[in-house]
């Protein structure tokens, strides 16, 4: 099945969508003092993490953005001091509820408790880093959720869910956090292998023989691939020689183009292409639009 939509996104429509899509503010506006107090001096270690998911009881799933190993952590933020760092001084925040997409620094004793996801030992405080909000993890979790809801017959009796995000701009830990969250939400064991890796490790059967029919009997593969396709906008008419306006004045900070799919067998797959999403000046990603074909096999 194929469906064609216009590749031209109307700027006014996008701005309207983004204006109504804003995350919880990470930090209040800077003040002249008042409740501000210096950030606490900590001994031990500090981990810089992205909030990838928020569960019941203010339990955070954190992705260590500086880790090359894909380290992710769970952290119960209830009762922990939460600070904002707009300047050299930090403001103690009364509301400890963090939004998905916030970038934070976790001060802890230095030890990591072995589990998966791991846990910090002796957590002392959380500091929100302003102007670093980016909820691309949430965007791709929405995409994965939409894929799950299409051709649901492919989802039955899965033990494993592999989420291949290697061709996205997420950090290794953010990719691991998305894969873990999505698989856990469907009661499956998370994996991050590509189709080629699944074949090499023996998960895909039916690869050989005259009547080869590749299939993953116990799992399903989800893939999101970012592309270099340009995002087109309808801009206001400009006079000759007039400087092209910055996208930020239209509440546009960034854009991304991508395709997404899920695969179970050679004749059991679904996907869509030429998707576009826009990030506003606050770092929030709006709804994505499918501008290419949707296909099923």
CATH for 36-128, options being 2.160.20, 2.30.230, 2.40.50, 3.40.50: 2.40.50
Q: Is residue 117 reached through a cis peptide bond, with omega within 30 degrees of 0 on the bond before it?
A: yes
Query: 257 has which bridge partners?
Result: 227, 276
Residue 91: what pLDDT? 56
Q: Is the pLDDT of residue 139 over 60?
A: yes
Beta-ladder partners of 262:
222, 270
Residues in a beta bridge with 63: 50, 72
Q: Which residues pair with 285 in a beta bridge?
A: 279
How far, in Å, CA of 179 to CA of 70, rounded? 11
Q: How far apart are CA 161 and CA 146, in angstroms?
A: 15
Cβ atoms of residues 224 and 165 within 8 Å? yes
Please tell me the predicted confidence (pLDDT) of residue 5. Answer: 35
What length is written for the chain? 297
**pTM higher than 0.85 for the full model?**
no
Query: pLDDT confidence of 196, banded at 50, 70, 90?
Result: very high
Looking at the chain, the whole-number percentage of residues with pLDDT higher than 90 is 65
Distance from C-alpha of 51 to C-alpha of 72, rounded to nearest angstrom:
10
Identify the DSSP state of 126. Answer: E
Which tens digit of pLDDT belongs to each residue from 106-119? 999 999 999 999 99
The predicted structure's pLDDT at residue 257: 97
Q: Kindly state the greatest CA–CA separation across the chain.
A: 77
Question: What pLDDT does 34 receive?
Answer: 41
221-249 per-position pLDDT tens digit: 999 999 998 776 665 665 566 666 677 77
Distances (CA, A) of 129 to 14, 104, 117, 252: 27, 6, 23, 21
Query: What residues does each domain of the chain span?
Result: 8-21+135-296, 36-128
CB contact at 8 A, 271 and 3: no
Beta carbons of 175 and 241 less than 8 angstroms apart: no
pLDDT digits over 165-186, tens only?
999 999 999 999 999 999 999 9
Helices (H), 81-163: 136-149
Instruction: Transcribe 144-192 into DSSP letters.
Output: HHHHHHSSGGGGTT-SEEEEE-TTSSS-HHHHHHHHHHHHHHTT-EEE-
pLDDT for residue 31 is more than 50: no
């Amino acid at each position: 099945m194929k469906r064609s939509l216009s590749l031209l996104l109307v700027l006014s429509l996008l701005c309207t969508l983004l204006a109504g899509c804003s995350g919880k503010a990470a930090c209040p506006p800077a003040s002249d003092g008042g409740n501000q107090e210096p950030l606490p001096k900590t001994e031990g270690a500090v981990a810089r993490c992205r909030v990838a998911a928020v569960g019941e009881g203010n339990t955070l799933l954190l992705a260590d953005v500086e880790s090359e190993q894909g380290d992710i952590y769970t952290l119960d933020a209830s009762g922990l001091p939460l600070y904002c760092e707009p300047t050299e001084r930090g403001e103690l925040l009364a509301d400890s509820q963090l939004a998905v997409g916030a970038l934070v620094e976790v001060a802890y004793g230095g030890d990591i408790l072995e589990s998966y996801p791991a846990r910090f030992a002796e957590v002392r405080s959380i500091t929100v880093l302003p102007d670093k909000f980016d909820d691309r993890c949430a965007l791709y979790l929405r995409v994965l959720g939409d894929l799950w809801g299409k051709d649901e017959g492919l989802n039955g009796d899965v033990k494993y869910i592999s989420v291949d995000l290697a061709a996205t701009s997420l950090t290794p830990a953010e990719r691991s956090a998305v894969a873990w969250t999505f698989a856990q939400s469907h009661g499956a064991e998370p994996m991050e292998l590509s189709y080629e890796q699944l074949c090499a490790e023996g998960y895909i059967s039916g690869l050989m023989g005259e009547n080869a029919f590749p299939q993953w009997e116990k799992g399903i593969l989800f893939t999101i691939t970012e592309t270099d396709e340009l995002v087109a906008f309808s801009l206001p008419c400009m006079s000759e020689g007039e400087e092209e306006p910055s996208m930020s004045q239209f509440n546009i900070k960034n854009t991304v183009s991508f395709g997404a799919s899920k695969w179970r067998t050679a004749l059991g797959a679904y996907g869509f292409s030429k998707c576009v999403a826009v990030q506003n000046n606050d770092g929030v990603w709006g709804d994505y639009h499918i501008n290419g074909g949707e296909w099923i096999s």
